[in-house]
Every structure is written in structure tokens, then in C-alpha cells.
């Protein structure tokens, strides 16, 4: 199989704003995608742009996600409309000595292209992969999709052949004037980490007496 081009190697994915934050390592891009749960997918219908949040999973060199077959937006994507998919992980707040220079720590991947619709056995396998990525172990006991549920679903795959990756993780970037100013040089500056975590599972009424599955005890975030 031909290797995919490096992130940022096309004119559309070259980062022009803060290019020093560019990442060209595809493995880092995949690590960011593997750490996320939600992507935002753009599509234009009748001249109006929309951005749709979707649960997703990376499967090899593709990102897979699904939506309702009744959705005009997903039907448009399935028909081959161009799209932009982004995943952003927010890692912290950066407090500089000026409001202008204050920023965030983040890791983000942007993918451009057109989706292909998955059908038949490939769709079923993709939906199980997606479920397993979001809820590891769940596919071993939860009911799998029925034919009528598959009919109500559009499952899409986006090839990660044109992507850009940007990571911001440095200290505050203050101006020279602020660093020596008698007032602003004395205020606190630095980084405040943002950590994502899973809370304690809450059973519904029917499952109130059912033991928590062992696979859920291994779930973690951050």
C-alpha cells in the first residue's frame, strides 16, 4: 500500500498562522485522533454551511462515523460532498501577562476530503469498531445492530490522506515590554492544565442491582 503524504504537505493543509506549531508526524496525528471521542464534520447544503458533532473512531488510515439515513446532511456527505473533519483536544489555559497573548494548550487534527459510504459486512464491522473504540468491551455483551437499524443508519469513512496537525504546548509568550513592566511583570503567569476524566457510573432503574461489568472498570480518560 502506498504511504500517505505527511501532514501539512498540501497547499490546503499547510499551516500559515503560527507555523511553528505544525506537526508533520503522522503517528502523532493518529495518537491525537485515538485520544479523542468527538469530531466536528462540515458540510454545505443549498449554500448553507453546517458543522455536525459526531462520535468517531480511527480505523487504520480512515476515520469512521455514522448518522441517521433521514439526515439531509449525512445523505449529502454520502453522495460525495467535500468535507472538513476536525478533532481538538483542549489541554490547558495559558495565562500571559496580557489578555492578548493569553491562549490555550491544544492538539488538533484537520482532515479534508470526501467520505465513502460503508455498506454490508463492512458497515457492520465499522460500527462494531466504532462502539469498541468509544466503549471498550461493550460489544461483548450489548446487542448488535438489527437490519432495520442498519437501514436507518449511514456509516461513513474519511480517508486521512490530506490532513494538518497543530499542537500548542509551550509557556506564556509575553511581550518584552510586559516582562519588564513594573506592574505587569509582577502578576502571576503560567499554565492551568485541563484534565478530562470519567465519573462514577450511574445505573438506570432496571440495572440498579446488576454488577458493574469488569471491562468498565478499566475505562479512563486523561
Q: Is it the case that residue 39 has pLDDT exceeding 80?
A: yes
pLDDT band (50, 70, 90) for residue 3: confident
- The pLDDT of 108-136, averaged and rounded, is 97
- What are the structural domain ranges in the chain? 19-92+103-170
- Please tell me the predicted confidence (pLDDT) of residue 1: 54
Kindly report the pTM of this predicted structure.
Answer: 0.93
- Please tell me the predicted confidence (pLDDT) of residue 129: 97
Fold of domain 19-92+103-170: Pnp Oxidase; Chain A (2.30.110)
Answer for the pair 156, 77: CB distance below 8 angstroms, yes or no.
yes
Cell of 36: 479523542
- The pLDDT of 48-59, averaged and rounded, is 97
**If you average pLDDT over every residue of the chain, what do you get?**
95
- The pLDDT of 28-39, averaged and rounded, is 97
E strand or H helix at 184: none
Q: Which residues contact 69 (CB under 8 A, 6 or more apart)?
A: 75, 151, 152, 153, 154
Amino acid at each position: 500500500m502506498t504511504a500517505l503524504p505527511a501532514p501539512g504537505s498540501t497547499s490546503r493543509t499547510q499551516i500559515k498562522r503560527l507555523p511553528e506549531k505544525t506537526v508533520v508526524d503522522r503517528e502523532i496525528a493518529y495518537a491525537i485522533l485515538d485520544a479523542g471521542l468527538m469530531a466536528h464534520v462540515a458540510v454545505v447544503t443549498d449554500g448553507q454551511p453546517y458543522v455536525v458533532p459526531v462520535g468517531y473512531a480511527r480505523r487504520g488510515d480512515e476515520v469512521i462515523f455514522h448518522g441517521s439515513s433521514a439526515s439531509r446532511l449525512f445523505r449529502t456527505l454520502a453522495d460525495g460532498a467535500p468535507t472538513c473533519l476536525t478533532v481538538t483536544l483542549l489541554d490547558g489555559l495559558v495565562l500571559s501577562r496580557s489578555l492578548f497573548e493569553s491562549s490555550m494548550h491544544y492538539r488538533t487534527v484537520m482532515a479534508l476530503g470526501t467520505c465513502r459510504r460503508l455498506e454490508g459486512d463492512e458497515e457492520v464491522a465499522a460500527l462494531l469498531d466504532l462502539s469498541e473504540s468509544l466503549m471498550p468491551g461493550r460489544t461483548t455483551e450489548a446487542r448488535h445492530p438489527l437490519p432495520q437499524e442498519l437501514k436507518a443508519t449511514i456509516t461513513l469513512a474519511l480517508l486521512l490522506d490530506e490532513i494538518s496537525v497543530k499542537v500548542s504546548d509551550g509557556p506564556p509568550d509575553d511581550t518584552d515590554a510586559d516582562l519588564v513592566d513594573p506592574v505587569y511583570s509582577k502578576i502571576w503567569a503560567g499554565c492551568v492544565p485541563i484534565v478530562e476524566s470519567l465519573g462514577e457510573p450511574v445505573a438506570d432503574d432496571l440495572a440498579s442491582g446488576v454488577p458493574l461489568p469488569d471491562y468498565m472498570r478499566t475505562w479512563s480518560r486523561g
